[in-house]
Structure formats: C-alpha cells, structure tokens
C-alpha cells in the first residue's frame, strides 16, 4: 500500500462554508440537474449588475499598453493616491503611504493576521461573520472569539458582550460594516462605543471591513477610522462588491494609526507584501478608473439590488417557517428557520433543500457555530423570476418537511 503524506493540521482545519456547499451541488449538476445557486455573493453571476464599462476599458487599455509587468509591492502610486483621497473624503487624514493594495480583502486579511498574531492571541469578530475571520487566525496559533450580534434587534452589535470578552490577548477587534451575512449597519454611536472599549487595551487594533460601504441603505454608514483619535484602525475595501468586479481580485488596506503604535507590525506587513511581489497590474488600472471617474452609475445598481432585497423580504414574510430581519446594507438575507424541528440542524436543512429542490443556500452555522445556528444565508442578487422560483421551491420544501 502506498503511504499517504500527512496534511498539516492548519490546512485540514480550514472551512469556508460558502464554497464547501458547492461540492454536493456540483455532484447534482454532473447528474444533469440545474441548481439555483444563492450561495456566493458574486453580482456578476446574475443579470443586471455588470462591472462598469469605463473600468473595463481602463483594464483593457492597460493590457494593450503592455502594462503587464510587476507593479510595486504596495500598489501603483496613482492607485494608492486615489484610495487615500477617497479615505480623506470619508473623514480621516489618509496619505498614499497608508495604503497597501492587495489581491482582494482576503489577501489583506492573511497578511494582517500573519503580521499581528502570535500563539495564544485572540481575534474578536462579530458572530455571525464572513468565514475567513475564523478560518485564518488558527493558522498562526491564535483563535477567533465571536461577539454577539442581536438576532432579535436587526443583528445590532452587543456592546456588553464585547466588553465581557475583551482582554489583553485580543489583538484585533473586527467590525464588518455593513455586515456579511446579516446586513446590519452600525450607527456612529455604536462605533464610538466600540472604539471606547478598544481604547482601554493598548495592544488592540480595530479591523474595519467596509467592502459593502456603497451598498448601505440606511444612510448612516460612517468610516470607523474617521471616528478614532487614538485606537489604530485598518480599513479594508476593494473592487469586489461596490465596483462589481470580484474576479479582478483587487482590494486594499488603509492604515489609520494616530499614535504611531503600529510601526513594528507595519514593517512586518511590508515585508510580507514584498515577499508576495504585487497585486495584478492591469486590474489596478481598472480600479483606478473606478475611483477617478465618479460613481454616478452606482445608483442604478443599488436600486436593482434594493428591489431584489425587498421582493425577497416580502416573499419570506409570506412563508410559514421562515423569518427575516430587514438588512441595512449589502445584498444578503440571513434567514431564521422558525420551524423548531427544521431549525435543529441548519446544515441538514440546506443539504435537504439542495437535494430535494435544487436550491443552494449556505447554513448559518457556517458563519458562526454559536450565533448563526438555525439560519441560512441567501444571496438576493438574482433576477426576480429566479428569486420567485427559489421561494416557491423553499415554500414547498418546508410544507413537505413538516
């Protein structure tokens, strides 16, 4: 018998619920079934939400001009400047040097975790949250602790729960605003309270993932960095959601460090960035056009999303066995399975729905074992007809399962 090579415990522990559920869906597709996929937050997978043409032209122009070489490791200077000026517009003094361009927010997270975390450290992240906040820290011997979002109050941040979980081992306090998967948008007073809590822990940096900022429907969104006078805040954003180009894999981190506490860790981040060379050069040109050429086009995309979200909320309200809070932003619904028997095992609910009705959503426990259980997340980006068909199938699945 051939002896198997062992996998590292690090890799074996990685889970990414959003794509893990695709494996059984592909099996069904291979058997000839058509699956309605409501699992991945990719606007390009659906009609009516294209990447803006001027960004595509800039990307193509860069290719034609042979801008195909390596870029500087921290990003094209023109792009870093444009990102910094967008942050200044958001209310804090960001300079070109404070910005690092990465292959998506996801790469920024890997770099940040690698530079900040030692064995025994903690990341305090919202429960529920986007899965990499749980998956990556353990690779460095650290762990993620979740703070509670209130399921009965629009998934508002439970500040008392944060207070009770803070200690000196919390190196990173994460806010995802608007939140994926719940859509909650934090108010400025909640953000101020969060900063005030972090202020008592000098080793704590706030990570503010603002990748859905342009898809805030409350009108209340504020940049976390703009509210902090002392606590370091690293803002994350990119082209994937608000610029409708997730396949370009371009994101950034912008460092606000008013008291210059992060010089050593920043040196570590720069070393890591140099060692992975650079982010895609032509894609950075595409993003630059997005930042420089105005966002008048965005209103159209926002209203398409709003319409699809509203339709989905209205359908869920009519299904006995499902409930949902209205989200403040982003394009997901985090749906509560209100039937107690079906809610017991949300992964089984999702897999049964997939096998019986060919609709793919993601189990809530994949976003938080503690706070997401008994829910599922669906992406509300498909056209109304596809959403209508999905809800018809969900409704009959629930009726037949009771």
Tell me which of 106, 143, 187, 220 binds ligand PLP, using CB under 6 A: 106
Size of the site for ligand PLP (CB under 6 A): 13
Kindly state whether residue 105 participates in binding ligand PLP, applying the rule CB under 6 A.
yes
Kindly state whether residue 144 participates in binding ligand PLP, applying the rule CB under 6 A.
no
Kindly state whether residue 246 participates in binding ligand PLP, applying the rule CB under 6 A.
yes
Q: Is it true that the peptide bond before 20 is cis, omega within 30 degrees of 0? A: no
Name the segment binding ligand PLP (CB under 6 A); options: 101-109, 112-120, 302-310, 384-392.
101-109
Kindly state whether residue 224 participates in binding ligand PLP, applying the rule CB under 6 A.
no
Of 135, 128, 94, 136, residue with least CA distance to 112: 136
For 199-225, the DSSP string reads HT-TT-EEEEE-TTGGGBSSS----SG
Q: Count CB-CB contacts under 10 A for residue 340.
A: 9
User: 322 or 379, CB closer to ligand PLP?
Assistant: 379
What angle separates helix 22-30 from helix 346-357, to the nearest 10 degrees?
20
Q: Count CB-CB contacts under 10 A for residue 50.
A: 14
CA-based end-to-end distance of the chain: 48
CB of 335 to ligand PLP, least distance (A): 17
User: 110 or 398, CB closer to ligand PLP?
Assistant: 110
Tell me which of 52, 127, 128, 238 binds ligand PLP, using CB under 6 A: 238
Tell me which of 240, 280, 325, 365 binds ligand PLP, using CB under 6 A: 240
Tell me which of 180, 228, 312, 373 binds ligand PLP, using CB under 6 A: 180
For 14-34, the DSSP string reads ---HHHHTHHHHHHHHHTT--
CA pair distance 294, 124, nearest whole angstrom: 35
Kindly state whether residue 251 participates in binding ligand PLP, applying the rule CB under 6 A.
yes
CA pair distance 100, 69, nearest whole angstrom: 18
Helix runs in 185-292, H state only: 188-199, 263-275, 281-292
CB of 180 to ligand PLP, least distance (A): 4
Site for ligand PLP in 185-214 (CB under 6 A): 209, 211
51 near 243, Cβ under 8 Å? yes
Kindly state whether residue 130 participates in binding ligand PLP, applying the rule CB under 6 A.
yes
User: 102 or 226, CB closer to ligand PLP?
Assistant: 102
Kindly state whether residue 364 participates in binding ligand PLP, applying the rule CB under 6 A.
no
Contact residues for ligand PLP, defined by CB under 6 A:
41, 104-106, 130, 176, 180, 209, 211, 238, 240, 246, 251
């Amino acid at each position: 018998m051939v002896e198997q090579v062992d996998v590292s415990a690090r890799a074996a522990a990685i889970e990414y619920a959003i794509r893990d559920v695709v494996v059984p869906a592909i099996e069904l597709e291979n058997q000839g079934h058509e699956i309605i996929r409501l699992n991945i937050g990719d606007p390009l997978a659906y009609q009516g939400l294209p990447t803006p043409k001027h960004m595509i032209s800039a990307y193509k122009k860069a290719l034609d001009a042979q801008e195909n070489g390596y870029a500087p490791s921290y990003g094209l200077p023109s792009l870093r400047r444009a990102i910094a000026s967008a942050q200044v517009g958001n209310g804090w003094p960001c300079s070109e040097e404070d910005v690092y361009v990465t292959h998506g927010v996801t790469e920024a997270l890997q770099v940040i975790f690698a530079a900040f975390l030692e064995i025994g450290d903690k990341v305090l992240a919202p429960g529920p949250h986007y899965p990499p906040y749980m998956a990556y820290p353990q690779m460095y011997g650290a762990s993620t602790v979740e703070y509670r979002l209130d399921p009965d109050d629009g998934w508002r941040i439970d500040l008392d729960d944060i207070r009770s979980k803070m200690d000196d081992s919390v190196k990173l306090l994460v806010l995802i605003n608007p939140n994926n998967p719940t859509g909650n948008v934090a108010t400025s007073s909640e953000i101020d309270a969060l900063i005030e809590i972090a202020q008592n822990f000098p080793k704590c940096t706030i990570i503010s993932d603002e990748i859905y900022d342009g898809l805030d429907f409350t009108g209340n969104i504020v940049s976390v960095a703009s509210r902090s006078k002392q606590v370091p805040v690293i803002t994350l954003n990119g082209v994937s959601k608000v610029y409708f180009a997730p396949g370009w894999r371009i994101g950034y981190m912008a460092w606000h460090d008013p008291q210059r506490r992060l010089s050593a860790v920043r040196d570590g981040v720069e070393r890591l960035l140099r060692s992975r060379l650079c982010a895609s050069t032509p894609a950075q040109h595409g993003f630059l056009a997005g930042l420089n050429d105005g966002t008048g086009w965005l209103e159209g995309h926002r209203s398409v999303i709003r319409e699809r979200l509203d339709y989905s909320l209205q359908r869920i309200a009519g299904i006995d066995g499902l409930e949902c809070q209205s989200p403040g932003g982003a394009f997901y619904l985090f749906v509560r399975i209100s039937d107690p028997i079906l809610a017991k095992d949300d992964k089984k609910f999702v897999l049964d729905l997939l096998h019986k009705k060919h609709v793919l959503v993601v189990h809530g426990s994949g976003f938080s074992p503690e706070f997401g259980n008994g829910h599922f997340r669906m992406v509300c980006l498909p056209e109304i007809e596809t959403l209508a068909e999905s809800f018809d199938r969900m409704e009959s699945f629930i009726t037949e399962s009771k």
